[in-house]
Amino acid sequence: MAIQSTWLLWAFGGLYIAGPALAWILGLMAAVTLYLGPALPQHQRPPPLHPTILLWLVGMLAMLLILIVGHVLNGLGLGKTIKSSIGWAKGWALIALFPFAGAVLAIRPEVIYRAVCRLGLQTLILLPLFLVAPFIGLPGLLYVSPLKIVGGSGPEYFAVILYTLEPGTGVPRWQFFAPWAPAAGMVAVVHILCALEEKHLGWKIIGVGAGLMMALLCQSRLALVALAIVWPLAFGISQLRRPWTWFTAAPAILGLGLFAPQLQMLLDQAIARFVGARADSSRVRAALGRIAVERWRNEAPWFGHGVVENGPHLVEYMPIGSHHSWFGLLFVKGITGLFALLLPLLASLWMAARLSLTHPVGRVALSMLLLLTLYSFGENLEILSYLYWPALLLVGVAARTASRKRRLAVAARDASTPAS
């Protein structure tokens, strides 16, 4: 229901509120279910929490503790500490709460796939309005919802925008229900990965088609890269136990070795075109990263600066460490914050990769985690968690499947062991 209500929530400026509210409600439901688990019938009891889910819970709770320590060390005061803690509850906390809910509650991934496809149908119906808006004189910004009073990183999270114009060129660019265009590209790829798993061909075509239109119209370079590599890589990993994979890979690896210089040249040209497509944007992103690393290393290596700061004129006064989760973590939360995200992410990638060898939901979770890893180098993951939460929920479902698989394996081993 929440997924299918996306456009309605967008129209009221409520998406930024709905995501965190849903996360905390589902998290509370999961906690109650886990607490009452021993009293439930055997078939209704949730499996034990997978270690990766515990890592996410501990890691994101560590983010809050690191935030508090950083504020104390930098003398930021109680007011800023409370404000930042509320921001944590609407950002980093979601990255743990949704996987936790998926790992405990009986959520079927098929329900998520179908909901995404139905949302895609709504998108296709609304698409003509978005496409003609800049050419018939409709304003790009329709209004900013009064719900912005609840607070956020900026009014763009509550703005109802039909399109934006690229500075300098005046070319229209669409961000749909996301706060900016590259974020729409990320959501589009999440929806495509979900739609690819839909069993009904008609709904699959609708879901994939809507996601592709969003990815193309938002003109996000990173979305196009993700479309090219995420699903094929996840599918390839999921097939590693099959002999044909190795027979296919052998000549491919041989070809890579024989044509390595030419491939390196093509890769360099592709990277140059990627950077040159928006040279000013790439320059600003690189400068933001350099400033973040330099100030982290010299000023606050362990717990960071506590809050985001705007950069100099060189980077158009954009927040230091923005557009990059790892640089942002180093600047705001230091090396401790970086490891609080890195460890659960690596553990989840390993869990999903192993599960993908035997279960389709493992492949889906792996593709979502690969997407988050890729986008961690181009976006701040915590800021957009209220949009890509279906991906986090599917990671939790995969963890539940992996935990159940482990429990069955232990039971089978115990049953086969002769009594002494």
Predicted confidence at residue 411, as pLDDT, reads 66
Closest CA to 330 of 369, 273, 292: 292
Rounded to 5°, the CA angle 384-292-159 comes to: 30
Q: Which string of DSSP letters, residue by residue, matches 268-319? A: HHHHHHHHHHTHHHHHHHHHHHHHHHHHHHHH-TTT--SS--B--GGGTTPB
SS3 200: coil
Torsion of CA 348, 354, 359, 361, to 10 degrees: 20
What is the model's pLDDT at position 420? 47
pTM of the model: 0.91
- DSSP strand pairing (159-161 vs 164-165): unpaired
Token pair for residue 385?
């968690």
Q: pLDDT tens across 38-67, in order?
A: 877 777 788 889 999 999 999 999 999 999
Q: Which two tokens stand for residue 266?
A: 């093509």
pLDDT value of residue 262: 59
Beta carbons within 8 Å of 371's beta carbon, 6+ residues apart: 186, 189, 190, 193, 226, 230, 391
With a cut of 70, which residues of the chain have pLDDT below it?
Answer: 151-152, 244-250, 252-281, 314, 410-411, 414-420
- The string of pLDDT tens digits covering residues 391-417 is 999 999 999 999 888 777 766 776 666
Query: For the chain, which residues make up each domain, given as ranges?
Result: 6-37+46-241+278-409
What the block records as the tokens of 17 is 């509120």
Please state whether beta strands 159-161 and 141-144 pair in parallel, antiparallel, or not at all (unpaired). antiparallel
Cβ 306 vs Cβ 295: under 8 Å: no
Following CA atoms 175, 176, 177, 182 in sequence, which dihedral angle do they give, to the nearest 10 degrees? -30
Helix pair 279-299, 260-277: axis angle to 10 deg:
90
pLDDT at 169: 76
End-to-end CA separation in angstroms for the chain: 54
Cβ atoms of 214 and 184 closer than 8 Å: yes
Q: What string of H, E and C letters represents the secondary structure of 236-258? A: HHHCCCCHHHHHHHHHHHHHHHH
